[in-house]
Amino acid sequence: MALIDNQGEPISRRWVMKSIEVLEKQTNLFSSTQMRQARVELIAGTNRLKTIKSWLLAAQIIQSNGREHVITDFGKAIIANDPHLEKASTWWAFHLSICFSKRNEPYVSFLMSLEPIAKDWIPWEKIIKQVQAKVIKQAQAKAELQGYKISSLKFYLDGIRKMFVGDRPLAELGLIESRKVRGQQIDVRLGEPFVSDFVIRHALALMRFHHFRNRISVDFSELLNAGLDRFLCLSPDTLRTQLRVNSRMERWQNELSFTENANLDSIAFGENLIPKKTLLVLLQESQDTWL
């Protein structure tokens, strides 16, 4: 179980853009022999280089190839369609890519700890305890934790929370809201972002590929159990409604169909519900959803 070793810090738009630019020419940018040059190129200290690499790996923009790091097809698609990383759709794709990454902890456990129906405020310390318990359980089940200390999870979680505040691109999408209570305690909750149909279909395609690859249909409740509503920061009822509406649109009939039953709704996957296809449509056609 690989964790996001983000050194307790978020990543910026500039660091993502500059890293891709340099890695296109120099795949050993993050190697120990090139550390000085990397610090100069990215204007970052040693710890921040670890932060940058960790987020890029978690978002599947780059992948490790021994001592080198190469840009993935996903990273190439993003930079080809949005060279300056200015579109909201780019950052929706970034967010969803982490949700379905092999390096998605404790990012996913953080999202799963939030309340999707009433979207209640939850104390940050409570979330930390919930995530620690969940990750420990997962690690014990796999008999591994890859050398990470449980105390480090709080460190990494702080870096994740910071991705959704201030001037960070994910904050501008309105995915997560934070507030300070009595000057000290931090509370967080799922936000109220505008989630386009393009975003929902790409998330569903990723869910199908990573969780239900050999299935032709799933119950709606299975999507909720896998976290689709939290990944999209939607209430279950809103997600159900938007999937139902999408299934009735002629353009998307080859991607999904929605069947309503008295006690159990289900979604059938169409032949065109493929992440590579839905990603390109998202990047090329989706409207901006910045707050």
Q: What is the CA radius of gyration of the chain?
A: 19
Q: Using CA atoms, how far apart are residues 243 and 148, in angstroms rounded to an integer?
A: 39
Position 7 in a domain: no
Position 27 in a domain: yes
Whole-angstrom CA distances from 263 to 219, 220, 260, 266 are: 11, 11, 8, 10
* DSSP letter, residue 217: E
Residue ranges making up the domain that contains 160: 107-190
Position 279 in a domain: yes
Position 280 in a domain: yes
Q: Using CA atoms, how far apart are residues 72 and 14, in angstroms rounded to an integer?
A: 18
Q: Based on the domain organization, do 210 and 281 belong to the same domain?
A: yes
Q: Using CA atoms, how far apart are residues 155 and 159, in angstroms rounded to an integer?
A: 7
Q: Which amino acid is at 149?
A: K
Q: Using CA atoms, how far apart are residues 255 and 214, in angstroms rounded to an integer?
A: 16
Q: Based on the domain organization, do 164 and 218 belong to the same domain?
A: no
Position 149 in a domain: yes
Q: What is the 3-state secondary structure (H, E, C) of 89-108?
A: HHHHHHHHHHHCCCCCECHH
Q: Based on the domain organization, do 201 and 276 belong to the same domain?
A: yes
Q: Based on the domain organization, do 72 and 118 belong to the same domain?
A: no
CATH, residue 23 = 1.10.10
Note the pTM of the prediction, 2 decimals: 0.94
Query: Of 31, 53, 86, at which residue does a domain stop?
Result: 86
pLDDT of residue 149: 66
User: What total of structural domains would you count in the chain?
Assistant: 3
Position 232 in a domain: yes
- H/E run at residue 68: strand 68-71
Q: Using CA atoms, how far apart are residues 258 and 243, in angstroms rounded to an integer?
A: 7
Q: Based on the domain organization, do 171 and 204 belong to the same domain?
A: no
Q: Based on the domain organization, do 60 and 24 belong to the same domain?
A: yes
Q: What is the pLDDT along the chain (291 residues), one digit of tens a residue?
A: 578 989 999 999 999 999 999 999 999 999 989 999 999 999 999 999 999 999 999 999 999 988 899 999 999 999 999 999 999 999 999 999 999 999 999 999 999 999 999 999 999 999 999 998 888 777 766 655 555 566 788 899 999 999 999 999 999 999 999 999 887 899 999 999 999 999 999 999 999 999 999 999 999 999 999 999 999 999 999 999 999 999 999 988 899 999 988 778 999 999 999 999 999 999 999 878 776
pLDDT of residue 253: 86
Which tokens hold the place of 86?
A: 């200015």
Position 22 in a domain: yes
The answer to whether the CB of 119 falls within 8 A of the CB of 225 is no
Position 100 in a domain: no
pLDDT of residue 36: 92
Q: Based on the domain organization, do 204 and 162 belong to the same domain?
A: no
Q: Using CA atoms, how far apart are residues 82 and 75, in angstroms rounded to an integer?
A: 11
